[in-house]
Amino acid sequence: MTAPAGGLIQSVDWIALAPPAITAVVALLVLVADLFLPAVRKPLLGQAAVGGLVLAGLSLLPLLHAGRATFCLTTGSHDCSYVADHFTLVIQLLVLGGALLVALLSLNSQDDLPAGEFWFLLLSSTAGAALLPAARDLATLVIALEVASLPAFALVGLKRGDRLSSEAALKFFLSSVTATAVMLLGVSFVYGATGTLHLAALADGLGHTPRQLDTLARTGVALTLVGFAFKLAAAPFHFWVPDTYTGAPLPVAAYLSVVGKASGFSGLILITVIAFRHYADVWGPALAVLAALTMTVGNTAALRQRPGHPRSAVRLLAWSSVGQAGYLLVPLAAAGYVGPGSDPARHIGATVSYALMYGVVNLGAFGVAALVARTSAGNRIADYRGLYATRPLAALAMAFFLLCLAGLPPGIVGLFAKVVVFSSAVDAGLGWLAVVMAVNVVIALYYYLRWTALLFAQPDAVPTGAEAGGAPAAVPALRAPVSLTAAIALTAVVGLVLSGAPQIVLRFTSGTLF
């Protein structure tokens, strides 16, 4: 790639670029290979995708110590468009790890999905999500966000002949396009007010906007945030979530709930904490209100889910992920309340730690949901009744994941992740938000615990008797496929290790990430 400035040839640091680049290359390879592979060999595509994701994950290793950057301006401020600092690496780890788990979930559950397209779309979306945390200018940021979300629309609508799936895709597409349009408008305002797209330069520029441009800059900041709020499914921009999650294939819902959220959050962090830091008085309170609304809306809606309704399991996870997004916003809001000159990194670390915990246990919960969905296609919460009797390990794992999400021991990592979020709210003096969150934690506990209790309840006398096509009770449960078992086992082990040593994820709350 060449830099325009001075006609100099700029060398590209491919090692820094490797995680998203490898993912993108494997995506293209899978798409091409799909054309030439006979139908029976299609499973190879999935294995290639898993291999590619593992490779991309390994490519994070050489980046651990050096803060690398590339695509830099050769003159002036030497701002870079791609930076591989600690923040980037952690989010990339979350994105790639999340995508890997999603890939493991989907290896065996995509009989009705076109293999080549599925893997291509999943990998391209992952590449975009991995690029996003490294982006340090608004153009790269918007492009990365679109690369992450455009394939996601297609993924949601990938189930052939499923009306719900296409409707979900359409809803997702329309709301997301609106978000992008609003965001681009905001970005253009900000660009107009400052004349730069690089985040660091933006921060300087917004610090000294001419008086007559101040309104423009403020409007731009607000519009950009609204765009991100859409992507994050923060209330009141959350309405697309439940239908999208329930309509989408289950692994795709898992993908959206973790990787989709991670990319949205990393973008929001970059925008608020780096670029718009002089407008903390604008976005701090706004995010606090957004956080309170989001968690309340998500948790109360999750509370209303009836266990007997079809797809209620995924629906509940979808709404609870809205609630969890609210918790993730709390430290971000708190970062808006730190005094000028002090470092908001501690609060960002709280969000990152929480996101890592949430990613692991939420994917684990989706893994068990995928396992249960194999025997009872309705995917109702009621189908989990007595799971402990038929699949004790899966039931124990699910109980652990749900309690982690609820934040009660034995889910110690969930507990401490919540403690970190609470402490950043208390530290910033956001007492009211902490109290709102406390009430929400109790609401959430109710539905998580109701589900957990159901796992250990006596199985019904006639388990699936109500459904015409249900399997009779005597038939032993289907053998779980290896990849699915591996995904559940991996998340459970990581969750347990983190519960013993929460320091592994909580370390990001001390020290700087940028």
Partner 1 sequence: MNDTFLRWVLITLLVLPLFGALGALFPAPPGLRGRNQDQAVLRHGVSITGIVLLLTVILAAGFDYAHPARMQASTDLSWISSLGIRLHLGVDGVSLPLLVLTALLTFLCALYSYFKMPEGPSPKGFVALLLVLETGTLATFAVLDLMLFFLAFEMVLIPMYFLIARWGGEGRDRAAFRFILYTVLGSVIMLLGLLLIGLKAGTFDMVALASDNGSKLSHTTQLIAVLAIGIGLAVKAPMWPLHSWLPDAHTSAPTVGSVLLAGVLLKMGTYGFVRIILPVAPQGAHTFAPYLAAFAVVGIIYGSLACLAIGRQGSGGDLKRLIAYSSVGHMGFVLLGIATLTPTGVNGALFANVAHGLITGLLFFLVGAIKDRYGTTDLDRLSGTTGAALYGAAPRLGGLLAFGAVASLGLPGLAGFWGEMLAMFGSFHPAAGLSRPAYLTFMGLAAFGTLLTAAYMLLVVRRVCMGEPTAAPTGQPATPRMLADVQGYEFASWTPLVALTLLAGLWPAALLGLTDPAVHALLGGSR
Q: Which residues bind partner 1 (CB under 8 A)?
A: 349, 403, 408-410, 412, 415-416, 419-420, 422-423, 426-427, 431, 434-435, 438-439, 441-442, 445-446, 449-450, 453, 456, 458, 502-503, 506-511
Exposed e or buried b per residue across 191-202, where buried means at least 16 C-beta atoms within 10 angstroms of its C-beta: bebbebbbbbbb
**Cα 366 vs. chain centroid, distance in angstroms?**
13
Nearer to partner 1, 187 or 454 (CB): 454
Shortest Å distance, C-beta 416 to partner 1: 7
Among 92, 74, 75, residue whose Cα is nearest residue 83? 92
Nearer to partner 1, 322 or 402 (CB): 402
What ranges make up the beta strands (E) of 296-434? none
Nearer to partner 1, 264 or 349 (CB): 349
Shortest Å distance, C-beta 431 to partner 1: 8
Nearer to partner 1, 457 or 482 (CB): 457
> Contact at 8 Å (CB) between 272 and 336?
yes
What ranges make up the beta strands (E) of 348-444? none
What is the distance between the alpha carbons of residues 290 and 295, in angstroms, rounded to a whole number? 9
Shortest Å distance, C-beta 440 to partner 1: 9
What is the distance between the alpha carbons of residues 351 and 149, in angstroms, rounded to a whole number? 22
Residues 6+ apart with CB under 8 A from 382: 307, 308, 312, 454
Residue 219: count other Cβ atoms within 10 Å of its Cβ.
15
| Residue 138, CA atoms < 13 Å, CB-side half-sphere | 30
What is the distance between the alpha carbons of residues 240 and 175, in angstroms, rounded to a whole number? 7
**Cα 452 vs. chain centroid, distance in angstroms?**
24
Nearer to partner 1, 205 or 502 (CB): 502
What is the distance between the alpha carbons of residues 252 and 426, in angstroms, rounded to a whole number? 36
Shortest Å distance, C-beta 367 to partner 1: 21
Shortest Å distance, C-beta 382 to partner 1: 15
| Residue 231, CA atoms < 13 Å, CB-side half-sphere | 33
Shortest Å distance, C-beta 319 to partner 1: 19
Shortest Å distance, C-beta 498 to partner 1: 11
Shortest Å distance, C-beta 79 to partner 1: 30
Nearer to partner 1, 363 or 428 (CB): 428
What ranges make up the beta strands (E) of 207-366? none
Nearer to partner 1, 226 or 333 (CB): 333
| Residue 148, CA atoms < 13 Å, CB-side half-sphere | 35
**Cα 493 vs. chain centroid, distance in angstroms?**
20
Shortest Å distance, C-beta 439 to partner 1: 7
What is the distance between the alpha carbons of residues 172 and 156, in angstroms, rounded to a whole number? 8
Nearer to partner 1, 344 or 349 (CB): 349
Nearer to partner 1, 275 or 408 (CB): 408
